[in-house]
Amino acid sequence: MSASKTQSRWNSAQLDPLIRKLEDLQHQLLAAERTARPRLEAVRPRQQPSARNLVHYLALRRNDLRPLQERLAGFGLSSFGHSESLSPR
């Protein structure tokens, strides 16, 4: 199926709620980072990206992501199935 045909099947009534849910999830992760800021600042600078990633991951796992994953899959988009491997090495 061509990209133009795929795009024509999607409309804002379908995508807007999904985008809002993803934005809400992003806000939760950033709020968790703000809450953890004193602890993150105590971590060695070289390890801070990994510590911040851990805070985001733990906040992410507080949510039941199955409905969101199903909605993402319905649009052919990636799910959170591999979110554990997002940390830099």
Residue 38 covered by a domain: yes
Answer with the residue of higher pLDDT: 4 or 73. 73
Q: Is residue 87 part of a domain?
A: no
- Domain assignment present for 68: yes
What is the pLDDT averaged over residues 12-32? 93
Specify the number of domains making up the chain: 1
What is the pTM for the complete model shown? 0.73
Per-residue model confidence (pLDDT) at position 84: 53
Segment 53-80 shows an average pLDDT of 89
51 located within any domain:
yes
Q: Is residue 48 pLDDT above 90, yes or no? A: yes
Pick the range with the lowest mean pLDDT from 7-11, 50-54, 68-72, 82-86: 82-86
Domain carrying residue 38: 15-77
Distance CA 24, CA 85 (A): 22
Helix spans in 1-89 (H): 3-9, 12-41, 48-61, 66-74
